[in-house]
Amino acid sequence: MNGVEQPARTYETATARLAAIIERLDSGHAGLRETLDLVKEGRELVEYCAAELEDVGRGLEELRLDDLVARLEAGETAARP
């Protein structure tokens, strides 16, 4: 490392950085080496964001399943005489 502490990566910071990368690439001012570096960084950020979305999706699915189980169990309890 270069001794500079990097901020924690979040989905929000990653998407903001992706927007900045796209803006720089669209400007046409990035040289060949910078373009390559930006594309590599962008690819890593896209992979990170995709993994984050997948993880959140699994979490939501688990919550829905937990809610369904709770409702089914409540229905069984209410249906018993």
Can you give 13-71 as a three-state secondary structure string? HHHHHHHHHHHHHHHCCCCHHHHHHHHHHHHHHHHHHHHHHHHHHHHHHHHHHHHHHHH
Ramachandran bin of 6, using left for φ above 0, alpha for ψ from -120 to 50, beta for the remaining angles: beta
The larger pLDDT score, comparing residue 75 to residue 27, is at 27
Structural contact between residues 30 and 38, judged by C-beta atoms closer than 8 angstroms: yes
Q: What does pLDDT average to over the chain?
A: 87
Residue 70 domain-assigned? yes
User: Residue 17 — pLDDT band, cuts 50, 70, 90?
Assistant: very high
Domain span at 22: 11-79
Per-residue pLDDT tens digits for 54-67: 999 988 888 888 88
Number of domains in the chain: 1
